[in-house]
Chains A and B, each alone.
Chain A
Amino acid sequence: MADPIHARALALLRRGTGWPDVRFRNQQYESIEAIAVRRARLLVVQRTGWGKSMVYFIATRLLRDRGSGPTLLISPLLALMRNQVEAAVRIGLRTGRIDSSNQDEWADIEQAVRDDILDLLLVSPERLTNPRFVERVLQPVSTRIGLLVVDEAHCISDWGHDFRPDYQRIVRLLRNLPGTIPVLATTATANDRVVEDVARQIGRVETVRGPLVRSSLRLQVIRMHDPARRLAWLADVLPDLPGSGIIYTLTKASAHRVTDWLRARALEVVAYTGAMDREREHIEQALLGNKVKAVAATSALGMGFDKPDLGFVIHFQRPPSPVHYYQQVGRAGRNVERAYGILLEGGEDDEIAEWMATSNELDAEHVRQILHALEQAEEPLTPARIEASVNLSRGKLLHALRLLHAHPTPPVDRDGMRWTRTIHPYQPDLEQLQRLRRLRERERERMARYVDGERCLMEYLQRELNDPSARACEHCSVCVGSPLVPVNCSQETLAEAQRFLRRQYVVIEPRKRWDVNALATMKLEKTTIPSEWQVEPGRALCRWGDPGYGGLVRAGKQRELRFDQRLVRAVATMVRVWEPDPFPQLVTSVPSLRTGALVPDFAARLARDLEIPYLDTLAKVRETRPQKLMENSYQQMRNLDGAFAVRERHPLARRVFLLVDDLVDSRWTFTLAGALLRRAGAAAVYPVALASTAPDR
């Protein structure tokens, strides 16, 4: 083997790793050679930790030695990991990153490119589409890119779990890239179908694929539908798990809730979500340095995060696909004797996942409104101007614009900070939408089968990822035949968790006083509401502006004119967790002439779920104006005075009621409707609302 390039590459590998006797891993050198010598396009599918970064570091060095321009690394990573930076320095590579947060470094980087001393540049995929960034930063530094590296290339495929519209731009970019500029696309997780799709889209590409096996990972599944039990289990088990780890949740709200709970139990846990731009790097460092026991994170913690001694990965809810799961759980146990991957299955997992997926889809009516606004305008419009014609929040509007912009023939384009219509007609890709929906459904089914635990868990995952070397691992709970980590929690912790959860809903405090003049028809004497007429403290599921359930409530009220079944389930769960005592015997609802059957229909479905009867007890005898238009308490009471009447035929005596309404704001509706019910004999009335529009205290 007197190949001088191989000898040089091996010397670089040894210098880069700091290990003088290290050899190339299987296919590592072949990949380097393909890029740096044959200038090929290469798709490398290898597990994290295989050494993909070493491949492009060494290839960059070899290419640079022969006069090539710098490497451009397109990656959703915030930065190179510290160990990668150290390896790059040892190999003699100068690296830089350009993004919106380091404007003060742009000039230096530009100069370094000009002086030809910068070897590798990191840029995020979404930056590539920002016109100002492109003109001011990317162009000056990209005049002689010698190697293009595309990280997390599975995001290219909409057959994958992580399809990202921004990556479609990269595909189109590759189409006009001269064949003599080598391209390395890398991913750690992809099944056959995704690999084939990515390869097809990149074009002219050779694929290098290795096994995924990871022997020190011990997998276990636990079914626990009660969220309080899952929290309690976490608190009991966490201290006994090795090292530091990650607790994955499906939503940001869950990540924060888990964090709040575990911190209340004196455990070192921090939350990590995509919304926390600034702290993310800091939290990653804390986790890397074992300064925290666990990070409760959404899938935002993932791409590129590499901690070889991660002790455990717990999923608080079931992730939406085996590939997702493998990618996340696979972060544990890369370089430790024993690490745990434990999946908790809750009842609500599928609903949350589906809700998140559908809320990311483009709404045809919104698209029509956006395009119409842009077509009518003589000049490109700012998002603020578009908002005037489209009833969308800024975040949703920008999301919709970004999706439209990523279309192969985009109907909109950016013009600095403004947006313009293009000549392309817009056709929603209904086929793609249907395919994505079917795919999601199929993947959820595959994940549900994993939880069934009928065969070795590791083998199951490997087969899902089409790993030819899949076989029984002999370490997982199925292979061992008993739980690896206890599945129970203590009764005290459970009670504590229940109390914790109960505090999470919005409490509707009963009103104690009213204005006798405003309520003339009731012929009242005292300003204090008699205790036998008062309602009990109630609950609202969420706040109107909340992203999760709040979004469903808004959709139900404003668009669908029917509340989603998921809301029925969620309110039923809330009532069960809340456990009002005495427990309600009947469900009734606040009538409305304006919204008709909306609330009674919901209340009846809630009653079915709670397995108690539903009864229409109140009638709206007079139309009222929306309560939210009433500026003060007096007006609010006046507006409701004489509006409700009890339907006489119902025997209410000594019965306990859940009184359901869609929104609660001033609480006067509940107070007055409840007082009527109680005056007619009800033993107790518990107000329940879907959302509170009152300001958050």
Chain B
Amino acid sequence: MTPDPDENKLAILLLCSSFGAHDSDARPLSVAEFNKLEGWLRAANLRPRDLLDPAARDTFLSETTTPEHAERIRRLSERGFMMSHALERWGQRGIWAVTRAEERYPARIRRRLAQQAAPVFYGVGDPELLARPALAVAGSRDADEHALAYACALGGRAADEELAVVTGGARGVDRAAIQGCLERAGAACAVLVAGLYSAAVAAHNREMIADGRLALISPFHPEAGFTAGNAMARNRYVYALADWSVIVRSELAGGTWSGGTELLKHGWSSLFVRASEDEGNRALLERGALPIPAELDEIDRLRTLFERTSSARAAPVRGHRSKPPASGEQLTLDS
């Protein structure tokens, strides 16, 4: 009855995830650190699960890395009980975990971000949602009424054309787009920076999640707190999960701006920007973003617009290796 757990998955979780506010002092590996370790393991013909065996682990690490780094990995991998307890606790709210070692890992993120993709995703809701044709919607948290109405209507149009809506789940444009989509019986996904644990049982989400129309995912552990760095790291997953992305409103700085410029650089999905008078919008259009009419009633069918306009331009480079964004920018996204 009990299937053997995938030990590679458990090992990756141990190395890359925190399991709560009072986890050990050892800092989980960053994406880059994990990639490096994975390389060492491959060179030694080992898999992540081999780090679970104390003797094998200690031998491998003593031959590969510094005593300090070895100690950190040892401490991380000793948290097996803590991990299983956390997974059980989170599992009670329907929260699952998926790692890069598994087939179930979101295919678009794997394909488009490759080595830059988070080793671990947590989520609640139907993971199949992440494979549907999807439209990402982004925009500043402090958007005006007009922008919010636009986002809401755009979500509804996406639902009508059977496009899933992907957002960062933040206040403002993100939530308006999801709301518009769900109201038109569509499906939506939010990539959260923080608060997955409480969002999974929040009254306004429960029914939609149980119905299979809303999925919440996060590259950070379900009880992680909000940080600006995490918010920035989160943006790329929103764009990478979509076939097309629309920025409704951007300022000349902040999360939407930096997410948009990052997307233009890497081309995970085609970026459309609402052709409004907003400064940020105009700057993004100048940098190569594709225009989408400022009023939705000018568009007959979203898909036709996206497909035509995208193919008119050169196909973006896929799977391009990006560098992490510079930190320190002020971000406006929240959970």
- Given A143-B24, A175-B5, A176-B10, is A420 in contact with B85 using a C-beta cutoff of 8 Å? no
Question: Do B2 and A203 have beta carbons less than 8 Å apart?
Answer: yes
Q: Which of B1, B21, B80, B209 has the most CB of A within 10 A?
A: B80
Which A residues are CB-close (under 8 A) to B296? none
Q: In the complex, which residues of chain B have a beta carbon less than 8 angstroms from the beta carbon of A138?
A: 85
- A380–B93 alpha-carbon span in the complex (Å): 13
Given known pairs A128-B85, A424-B94, the reply for A145 and B5 (CB within 8 Å) is no
B222 to nearest A CB, angstroms? 12
A-B contacts counted at CB < 8 A amount to 125
Q: A135-B20, A136-B22, A142-B85 known; A178 and B75 CB under 8 Å? A: no
On whether the beta carbons of A144 and B1 are closer than 8 Å, the reply is no
Residues facing B in A408-453 (CB within 8 A) are: 409-410, 413, 415, 420-425
Cβ contact within 8 Å between A423 and B88: no
Interface centre among A72, A201, A423 (most CB of B within 10 A): A423
Q: Is the CB of B23 within 8 A of A139?
A: yes
List CB contacts (< 8 Å) of A344-380 with chain B: 375, 377-380
Encode contact with B along A114-133: 1 for CB under 8 Å, 0 otherwise: 00000000000000100100
A475 within 8 A of B: no
Q: Does A201 lie within 8 Å of B1, measured CB to CB?
A: yes
| A145-B81 contact, Cβ under 8 Å, with A172-B91, A178-B7 | yes
Q: Does A204 contact B (CB under 8 A)?
A: yes
Cβ-based interface call for B42 (8 A) = no
Decide yes or no whether B142 CB sits under 8 A from chain A. Answer: no
Contact B201 A415 (CB under 8 A): yes
B195 → A minimal CB distance (Å): 13
**Which B97-154 residues sit within 8 Å CB-CB of chain A?**
124-125
- Is A144 a contact of B78 with CB atoms below 8 Å? yes
Chain A residues closer than 8 Å to B1, beta-carbon distance = 200-201, 203
Tell me, in angstroms, the Cα distance from A523 to B52 when the chains sit together: 93
* B20/A139 in contact, CB under 8 A: yes
- A665 CB to nearest chain B CB (Å): 43
A423 touches which one: B2, B4, B80, B209 (CB < 8 A)? B209
Interface status of B53 (Cβ within 8 A of chain A): yes
A422 to B206, CA, bound (A): 7
CB of A148 within 8 A of chain B? yes
Contacting residue for A178 out of B10, B24, B210, CB 8 A: B10
Residues of B within 8 A of A177 (CB): 80-81, 84
A504 on the B face (CB < 8 A): no
Q: Are B89 and A423 in contact (CB under 8 A)?
A: no
A20 → chain B closest CB, angstroms: 33
| A180: contacting residue among B4, B20, B53, B203, CB under 8 A | B53
> In the docked arrangement, what's the CA distance between A180 and B201, Å?
33
Of B87, B89, B91, most buried by chain A (CB within 10 Å of CB) is B89
Question: Is B220 at the interface (CB under 8 A from chain A)?
Answer: no
Within 8 A of B (CB), among A375-416: 375, 377-380, 405, 409-410, 413, 415
* B94/A423 in contact, CB under 8 A: yes
Q: Give the complex CA separation of A67 and B14 in angstroms.
A: 19
Across the interface, name the chain B residue whose C-beta is closest to A145: B81
Q: Which one, B10, B75, B85, contacts A134 given CB within 8 A?
A: B85
Q: Counting CB contacts under 8 A, is A573 at the interface?
A: no
On whether the beta carbons of A175 and B84 are closer than 8 Å, the reply is yes
CA distance A211 to B6 in the complex (A): 37
Checking A67, A139, A172 against B21 with a beta-carbon cut-off of 8 angstroms, the contacting residue is A139
Instruction: Tell me whether A68 is interfacial, beta carbon within 8 Å.
Output: yes
Between B52, B85, B89, B124, the greatest number of chain A beta carbons within 10 A of the residue's beta carbon is seen for B85
In the assembled complex, the Cα of A148 lies from the Cα of B81 at a distance in Å of: 8
Of all chain A residues, the one with the shortest Cβ separation from B53 is A180
The yes or no answer to B200 lying at the interface (CB within 8 A) is yes
| Nearest CB in chain A to that of B58: its residue | A67
Do B2 and A200 have beta carbons less than 8 Å apart? Answer: yes
Q: Which of B4, B5, B78, B124 contacts A143 (CB 8 A)?
A: B78
CB-CB under 8 A for A413 and B93, given A176-B83, A177-B81: yes
Tell yes or no: B54 within 8 A of A by CB. Answer: yes
Q: Knowing A180-B52, A410-B92, A413-B92 touch, does A204 contact B81 (C-beta < 8 A)? A: no
Q: Is the CB of B206 within 8 A of A67?
A: no
Give A138 to B82 CA distance when docked, in angstroms: 9
Scoring B residues 1 to 20 as 1 if CB is less than 8 Å from chain A, else 0, what string do you get? 11011010011001000011
Q: Which partner residue on chain B sits nearest A414 by CB separation?
A: B92
Residues 19-54 of B at the A interface (beta carbon under 8 Å): 19-24, 52-54
Could you tell me the distance between the alpha carbons of A548 and B258 in the complex, rounded to whole angstroms?
A: 68
Flag if B85 contacts A173 (CB, 8 Å). yes
Contact at A378–B21, with CB atoms within 8 Å?
no
Select which of A139, A405, A422 is within 8 A of B82 by beta carbon. Answer: A139
Which of chain A's residues have a CB closer than 8 A to the CB of B23?
139, 143
A380 vs B206: C-alpha distance when bound (angstroms): 13
| A residues 176-233 in Cβ contact with B at 8 Å | 176-181, 200-204
Interfacial chain A residues near B75, Cβ < 8 Å: 143-144
Residues of chain B contacted by A180 (CB below 8 angstroms): 52-54, 80
Query: Within 8 Å CB of B125, what residues of A?
Result: 423
Chain B residues with Cβ below 8 Å from A179 are 4-5, 7, 52
Name B79's closest neighbour in chain A (CB-CB): A143
CB distance from B71 to the nearest CB of A (A): 12
List of A residues within 8 angstroms of B11 by Cβ = 178
CA A142 – CA B123 in complex, angstroms? Answer: 25
Binding site for A on B (CB under 8 A): 1-2, 4-5, 7, 10-11, 14, 19-24, 52-54, 75, 78-85, 87-89, 91-94, 124-125, 198, 200-201, 203, 206, 209-210
Apart from A139-B20, A178-B5: 18 A-B pairs, beta carbons within 8 A? A66-B54, A139-B21, A142-B85, A143-B82, A148-B81, A174-B2, A175-B88, A176-B5, A178-B52, A178-B84, A179-B4, A180-B52, A201-B1, A204-B4, A405-B92, A413-B92, A420-B201, A422-B93
Name the 8 nearest CB pairs between A and B, nearest first. Answer: A203-B2, A145-B81, A139-B22, A143-B24, A144-B78, A176-B84, A178-B80, A177-B84
Show the binding face of A for B, using Cβ within 8 Å.
66-69, 72, 128, 131, 134-136, 138-140, 142-146, 148, 169, 172-181, 200-204, 375, 377-380, 405, 409-410, 413, 415, 420-425
16 residue pairs of the A-B complex, CB under 8 angstroms, read: A69-B78, A72-B81, A145-B81, A175-B88, A176-B84, A177-B81, A178-B7, A178-B84, A179-B7, A180-B52, A180-B80, A181-B80, A413-B201, A421-B206, A423-B93, A424-B210
